Amino acid sequence: MQTIQWWKEAVAYQIYPRSFQDSDGDGIGDLPGIISRLDYLKKLGIGLIWICPIYQSPQDDNGYDISDYQAIQKEFGTLADFDRLLNEAHQRGIKVIIDLVINHTSDEHPWFIESRSSKTSAKRDWYIWREGKSGAEPNNWESIFSGSAWERDSATNDFYLHLFSKKQPDLNWENSRMREAIYKMICWWLDRGIDGFRIDAISHIKKQDGFPDLPNPEKKRYVPSFPMHMNVPGIQKYIEELCAETFRKYDVVTVGEANGVSSADALDWVGEKAKKFSMLFQFEHIGLWNRDSQQKINLTQLKDVFSRWQNAMENGGWNALYIENHDIVRAVSKWGDEGRYWRESATALGAMYFLMKGTPFIYQGQEIGMTNSSFHSLEDFQDVSAKNWIREQRELGKSDSELLRELCLTSRDNARTPMQWSADQNAGFSRGKPWLAVNRNYPQINVEEQWKNPDSILNFYRNMIQIRASNVGWIEGKFQLELREHPDIFAYSRKFSGWTGLVICNLSTNTVKVSEKFPAEQLVLSNYGMRDLHPAEFKPFEARIYQTTVS
Ligand code: GLC
Q: What is the DSSP string of 205-251?
A: SS--TT-PPPP-TT--SSEE-GGGTSS-TTHHHHHHHHHHHTGGGSS
Question: Ligand 1 mean position to 323 CA, how many Å?
Answer: 16
Q: Once rounded to an integer, what is the mean pLDDT over residues 105-122?
A: 98
Residue nearest to atom 7 of ligand 1 (CA): 201
Question: Ligand 1 mean position to 257 CA, how many Å?
Answer: 9
Cβ–ligand 1 contact at 327 (below 6 Å): yes
- Looking at the chain, the whole-number percentage of residues with pLDDT higher than 90 is 93
Residue 258 in this model has a pLDDT that exceeds 50: yes
Cβ–ligand 1 contact at 322 (below 6 Å): no
Question: Ligand 1 mean position to 64 CA, how many Å?
Answer: 6
CB 240 within 8 A of CB 276: yes
Cβ–ligand 1 contact at 64 (below 6 Å): yes
pLDDT band, very low/low/confident/very high, at 551 (cuts 50, 70, 90): low
Best probe residue, ligand 1, of 55, 59, 61, 100 (max atoms within 8 Å of C-beta): 61
Q: What are phi and psi of 300, to 5 degrees?
A: -60, -45
CA distance 521 to 546: 6
CA distance 78 to 71: 8
pLDDT at residue 405, rounded to an integer: 95
Q: Once rounded to an integer, what is the mean pLDDT over residues 148-159?
A: 98
Instruction: Characterise 58 by phi-psi region: left (phi > 0), alpha (psi -120 to 50), beta (else).
Output: alpha
pLDDT at residue 533, rounded to an integer: 55
Q: What share of the chain is helix, strand, coil (3-state, %, to 5)?
A: 35, 20, 50
CB 505 within 8 A of CB 490: yes
pLDDT band, very low/low/confident/very high, at 1 (cuts 50, 70, 90): low
pLDDT at residue 125, rounded to an integer: 98
Q: Where are the alpha helices (DSSP H) in 355-399?
A: 384-395
Residue nearest to atom 9 of ligand 1 (CA): 327
CB 455 within 8 A of CB 55: no
Q: Which of 81, 195, 257, 449 is catalytic?
A: 257
pLDDT at residue 516, rounded to an integer: 87
Cβ–ligand 1 contact at 99 (below 6 Å): no
CA distance 286 to 278: 20
Half-sphere exposure (Cβ direction) of 64: Cα atoms closer than 13 Å: 23
Q: Which helix (H) or strand (E) holds 499?
A: strand 499-506
What is the average pLDDT score of the chain?
95
Determine whether 445 is exposed, middle or buried from the number of CB atoms within 10 Å of its CB (0-12, 13-18, 19+). Answer: buried
pLDDT at residue 276, rounded to an integer: 97
CA distance 194 to 254: 11
What's the one-letter identity of residue 322? Y
CA distance 212 to 142: 13
104 forms beta bridges with: 170
**Residues in CB range of 41: below 8 A, 6 or more apart:** 13, 49, 92, 94
Give the tens place of pLDDT for each residue, 471-499: 999 999 999 999 999 999 999 999 999 99
Give the tens place of pLDDT for each residue, 449-476: 999 999 999 999 999 999 999 999 999 9
pLDDT at residue 520, rounded to an integer: 74
CB 479 within 8 A of CB 494: yes
Residue 76 in this model has a pLDDT that exceeds 90: yes
Cβ–ligand 1 contact at 458 (below 6 Å): no
Give the tens place of pLDDT for each residue, 209-255: 999 999 999 999 999 999 999 999 999 999 999 999 999 999 999 99
pLDDT at residue 297, rounded to an integer: 79
pTM for the full predicted model: 0.97
424 is catalytic: no
Cβ–ligand 1 contact at 142 (below 6 Å): no
Q: Is 10 helix (H, G, I), strand (E, B) or coil?
A: coil
Cβ–ligand 1 contact at 101 (below 6 Å): yes
Which atom of ligand 1 sits closest to the CA of residue 384? 10
Q: Once rounded to an integer, what is the mean pLDDT over residues 422-442?
A: 98
Give the tens place of pLDDT for each residue, 29-43: 999 999 999 999 999
Residue 374 in this model has a pLDDT that exceeds 50: yes
Residue nearest to atom 2 of ligand 1 (CA): 200
pLDDT at residue 294, rounded to an integer: 57
Pseudo-torsion of CA 310, 312, 314, 318, nearest 10°?
A: -70
Which atom of ligand 1 sits closest to the CA of residue 325? 8
Question: Ligand 1 mean position to 105 CA, how many Å?
Answer: 12
pLDDT at residue 298, rounded to an integer: 86
Give the tens place of pLDDT for each residue, 191-200: 999 999 999 9
CA distance 282 to 261: 7
Q: Where are the alpha helices (DSSP H) in 286-436?
A: 299-313, 331-334, 342-354, 384-395, 400-410
Residue 290 in this model has a pLDDT that exceeds 60: no
Question: Ligand 1 mean position to 535 CA, how many Å?
Answer: 47
Indicate if the alpha-carbon torsion angle 28, 32, 36, 41 is positive or negative.
Answer: positive
Give the tens place of pLDDT for each residue, 387-429: 999 999 999 999 999 999 999 999 999 999 999 999 999 999 9
Question: Ligand 1 mean position to 72 CA, how many Å?
Answer: 18
Question: Ligand 1 mean position to 411 CA, how many Å?
Answer: 13
Residue 291 in this model has a pLDDT that exceeds 50: no
CA distance 331 to 406: 17
pLDDT at residue 535, rounded to an integer: 62
Write the DSSP string, 438-493.
PPTTTTTS-HHHHHH-TTSHHHHHHHHHHHHHH-THHHHSEEEEE-TT-SSEEEEE
Residue 283 or residue 535, greater confidence: 283
Residue nearest to atom 12 of ligand 1 (CA): 64
Cβ–ligand 1 contact at 65 (below 6 Å): no
Which atom of ligand 1 sits closest to the CA of residue 163? 6
**Residues in CB range of 34: below 8 A, 6 or more apart:** 15, 17, 20, 21, 49, 51, 85
521 is catalytic: no
pLDDT band, very low/low/confident/very high, at 289 (cuts 50, 70, 90): low
Distances (CA, A) of 27 to 166, 431, 437: 26, 7, 10
pLDDT at residue 532, rounded to an integer: 64
pLDDT at residue 517, rounded to an integer: 83
Which atom of ligand 1 sits closest to the CA of residue 101? 12
Q: Which of 200, 413, 488, 542 is catalytic?
A: 200
Cβ–ligand 1 contact at 60 (below 6 Å): no
